[in-house]
């Protein structure tokens, strides 16, 4: 009699356990499908105006710390843009590699080039925010476009395409920046992670819920910057000169996106795991300062991704529900293929679907490792 009671309890517990695991698979898959179908799939229906009706005067701003070799490529690429009314401001941020001498010589020959020097500041202000602030204050025009010294525009219509996205009520234009393709595993991971980040912030902005932009390809108004005291609320936080500023001031009515390949930049990728992980720790550590709704949305997306794989592994050993659990996981995977394939084509991204699918498998491990490390490191410097 007692044995039968224990046997019945064990069977009941086993069934209940398997039902809970199946329920977790269903819940996580449903959350993932929501993000893919509501947010990511919106990229498929986003259309950008092809006709540029007005050429607004633009100030392009670049901060450079010991970037002379990159500036030798970037400055000509910007000065050769098919755009007549713009200035290029290069902020020499504490460089000691000959950048200052190079810029001063070039400035004498190029009337559109303006050089600003950022000395070592004596406070705890973030160096890049300080340098950017100097560049913004030196700008003549209200429309500002930002990129980094190790980037290059994809073509000569980069400025033209970005500025065309400024409508009467637009304060922010959020762009895309890819990384150069190299034949290494690290490079594939970098490109996949950057794509995954881009599909998130671009689709969220399309759905009128902008939460970040990237300094490698971002535009906003000088008047907005000055009226809201610039980076002041986050001046002592290392990093976040781009995403924290967007997160604080961008909203559903003042933000536009530019996803065409002609409005993108291409960046030089990191070549060692250590430097790349350090960079990602710095980026992720800033996200703790996002708005509550942004943190919730991103946490739900990432937690459901992580939990889905964990629960699928458990349900695979279930005697009752493994077929149903794996079917649900397969549906999510097919939807992922659909949304990723559309975004690859719309962005003209230099990545394959196979690379993204493999990255999706390792992403939970990456997020746990780098994400937890980022919250332990609070003082990762820019340069």
Q: Which residues have a Cβ under 8 Å from the Cβ of 172 and sit 6 or more positions away?
A: 210, 213, 218, 219, 220, 224, 246, 249, 250, 254, 255, 256
User: Could you tell me if residue 142 is left (phi over 0), alpha (psi between -120 and 50 degrees) or otherwise beta?
Assistant: alpha
CA distance 214 to 80: 23
Domain boundaries, the chain: 28-44+294-376, 47-289
Question: How much is the pLDDT for 26?
Answer: 85
pTM: 0.90
Residue with tokens 């919250």: 375
Indicate the angle between helix axes 2-34 and 322-347, nearest 10 degrees. Answer: 10
Question: How much is the pLDDT for 246?
Answer: 95
**For the chain, how big is the Rg over CA atoms in Å?**
24
Q: Are 113 and 75 in contact (CB under 8 A)?
A: yes
Question: How much is the pLDDT for 366?
Answer: 80
Sequence-ordered strand ranges (E) for the chain:
58-64, 86-93, 113-118, 143-148, 151-153, 172-174, 177-179, 218-221, 255-257, 265-267
Q: CA neighbours within 13 Å on the CB side: how many for 309?
A: 13
Question: How much is the pLDDT for 7?
Answer: 46
Task: Tell me how far the alpha carbon of residue 90 is from its chain's centroid.
Answer: 23
Q: What is the CATH number of domain 47-289?
A: 3.90.550.10
- Phi then psi for residue 54, to 5 deg, are -140, 135
The two structure tokens encoding residue 45: 């229906």
Q: CA neighbours within 13 Å on the CB side: how many for 329?
A: 25
The two structure tokens encoding residue 312: 């699928």
- pLDDT tens for the chain, 383 residues long, are 544 554 444 444 455 556 777 778 889 999 999 999 999 999 999 988 766 667 889 999 999 999 999 999 999 999 999 998 999 999 998 888 888 899 999 999 999 999 999 887 656 677 888 899 999 999 999 999 999 999 999 999 999 999 999 999 999 999 999 999 999 999 999 999 999 999 999 999 999 999 999 999 999 999 999 999 988 888 777 778 889 999 999 999 999 999 999 999 999 988 888 888 887 877 778 888 899 999 999 999 999 998 888 888 777 666 656 677 678 888 999 999 999 999 999 999 999 999 999 999 988 888 777 766 655 555 455 45
Q: Between vectors from CA 330 to CA 363 and to CA 192, what angle results, nearest 5°?
A: 30
């Amino acid at each position: 009699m007692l044995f039968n009671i224990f046997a019945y309890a064990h069977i009941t517990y086993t069934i209940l356990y398997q039902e809970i695991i199946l329920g977790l698979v269903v819940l996580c898959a449903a959350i993932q499908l929501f993000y893919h179908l509501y947010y990511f799939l919106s990229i498929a229906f986003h259309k950008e105006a092809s006709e540029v009706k007005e050429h607004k005067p633009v100030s392009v701003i670049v901060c450079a710390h010991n970037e002379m070799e990159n500036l030798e490529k970037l400055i000509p690429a910007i000065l050769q843009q098919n755009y007549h009314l713009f200035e290029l401001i290069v902020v020499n941020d504490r460089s000691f590699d000959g950048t200052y001498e190079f810029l001063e010589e070039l400035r004498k020959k190029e009337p559109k080039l303006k050089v600003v020097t950022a000395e070592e500041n004596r406070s705890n202000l973030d160096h890049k925010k300080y340098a950017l602030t100097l560049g913004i204050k030196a700008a003549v025009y209200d429309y500002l476009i930002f990129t980094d010294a190790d980037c290059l525009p994809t073509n000569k219509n980069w400025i033209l395409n970005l500025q065309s996205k400024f409508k009467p009520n637009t304060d922010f234009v959020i762009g895309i920046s890819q990384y150069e393709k190299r034949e290494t595993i690290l490079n594939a991971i970098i490109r996949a992670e950057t794509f995954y980040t881009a599909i998130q912030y671009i689709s969220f902005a399309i759905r009128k819920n902008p939460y970040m932009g990237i300094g490698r390809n971002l535009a906003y108004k000088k008047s907005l910057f000055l009226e809201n005291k610039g980076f002041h609320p986050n001046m002592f936080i290392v990093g976040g000169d781009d995403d924290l500023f967007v997160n604080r001031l961008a909203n559903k009515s003042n933000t536009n996106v530019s996803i065409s390949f002609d409005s993108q930049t291409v960046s030089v990728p990191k070549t060692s795991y250590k430097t790349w992980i350090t960079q990602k720790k710095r980026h992720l550590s800033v996200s703790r300062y996002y708005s509550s709704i942004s943190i919730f949305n991103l946490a739900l997306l990432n937690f459901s991704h992580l939990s889905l794989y964990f629960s699928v592994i458990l349900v695979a050993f279930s005697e009752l529900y493994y077929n149903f659990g794996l079917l649900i996981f397969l549906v999510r995977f097919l939807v992922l293929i659909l949304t990723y394939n559309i975004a690859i084509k719309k962005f003209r991204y230099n990545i394959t679907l196979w690379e993204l699918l493999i990255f999706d498998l390792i992403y939970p491990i990456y997020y746990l490792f780098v994400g937890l490390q980022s919250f332990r490191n609070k003082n990762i410097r820019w340069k």
